[in-house]
Amino acid sequence: MGLLECCARCLVGAPFASLVATGLCFFGVALFCGCGHEALTGTEKLIETYFSKNYQDYEYLINVIHAFQYVIYGTASFFFLYGALLLAEGFYTTGAVRQIFGDYKTTICGKGLSATFVGITYALTVVWLLVFACSAVPVYIYFNTWTTCQSIAFPSKTSAGIGTLCADARMYGVLPWNAFPGKVCGSNLLSICKTAEFQMTFHLFIAAFVGAAATLVSLLTFMIAATYNFAVLKLMGRGTKF
């Protein structure tokens, strides 16, 4: 068997679904974690600069942000490791192994490990659905603020007075109701929307949301591939004596 023929057989049986899912998972997690971390830092600066002068008002928020940033570090490490393990599991059950080395030779441990990957991937998909939904919340808040700024910049498009158009961080639970001022209105809000900090943070949250969506798609692909791999592994192991 020549080298080219051997490579061709490997490519025919390669786990393309796992390969695509792994690449999408790495991309999505990197985008979500990297952009999410910086977006949280930008939010912290915006709150303490424009929405509250009293540290006690946003002390709890800062603690929550820092906690989420540490969670992001762990999430990135876990998914990069888990994605690599799922890719290895995909290669284990690929047709390339059978074509090169003969029939599948499975063990009870191998089938149990494959079933474990299926269960973990299902659980991760459910958890990441919640993460995906939560990642949409800051995008919604920033989009509402940006929309308000557009109404202030073009007053002819709204019947409300410019001074009554505000962004209130308290109504989203970002700050307590006794925080002062807690909201910014009119031309002051428009000047905030024009800052590089606001624009960058807004776009970073959008990028993090896209990363969460890409990770969710990769997990769904992994879930389908892992279920199929387990079924194939179990089928190939029938009649095999251990």
Counting every residue written for the chain, the total comes to 242
Pairing of strands 183-185, 166-168: antiparallel
Better pLDDT: 115 or 186: 186
Residues 6+ apart with CB under 8 A from 19: 87, 90
Report the alpha-carbon distance of residue 189 to residue 187 in Å, rounded. Answer: 5
Whether residue 216 is predicted with pLDDT greater than 60 in this model: the reply is: yes
3-state secondary structure of 235: helix
Whether residue 232 is predicted with pLDDT greater than 90 in this model: the reply is: no
Residue 96 placed within a domain = yes
What the block records as the tokens of 21 is 């899912």
**Among the listed residues 48, 158, 201, 40, the one whose alpha carbon sits nearest the alpha carbon of residue 149:** 158
Residue 149 pLDDT: 92
Average pLDDT over residues 185-209: 94
Q: Which residues of 134-148 are buried (b: 16+ CB within 10 A; e: fewer)?
A: ebeebbebbeebeeb
pLDDT tens-place string over residues 109-141: 556 667 787 888 899 999 999 999 999 999 999
Residue 18 pLDDT: 78
**Among the listed residues 216, 223, 241, the one whose alpha carbon sits nearest the alpha carbon of residue 25:** 216
Residue 49 placed within a domain = yes
Residue 106 pLDDT: 53
Residue 9 placed within a domain = no
**Percent over 90 (pLDDT), the chain:** 43
Whether residue 87 is predicted with pLDDT greater than 60 in this model: the reply is: yes
What the block records as the tokens of 133 is 């939904």
Residue in the block written with tokens 């949409």: 136
Domain count, the chain: 1
Q: Residue 144 is part of which domain span?
A: 16-236
Whether residue 178 is predicted with pLDDT greater than 70 in this model: the reply is: yes
Residue 83 placed within a domain = yes
What is the torsion angle, in degrees rounded to the nearest 10, for the CA atoms of residue 232, residue 234, residue 236 and residue 237? Answer: 160
Lowest mean pLDDT among 10-19, 77-86, 182-191, 214-223: 10-19
Report the alpha-carbon distance of residue 33 to residue 207 in Å, rounded. Answer: 10
Most confident of 61-65, 89-93, 132-136, 157-161: 132-136
Cβ atoms within 10 Å of 95's Cβ, excluding its own: 15
Give the gyration radius of the chain's Cα atoms: 25
DSSP string, 8-77: HHHHHTS-HHHHHHHHHHHHHHHHHHHHHHHHHHHHHHHIIIIIBS-HHHHHHHHHHHHHHHHHHHHHHH
Residue in the block written with tokens 């279920």: 227
Q: Which helix (H) or strand (E) holds 183?
A: strand 183-185
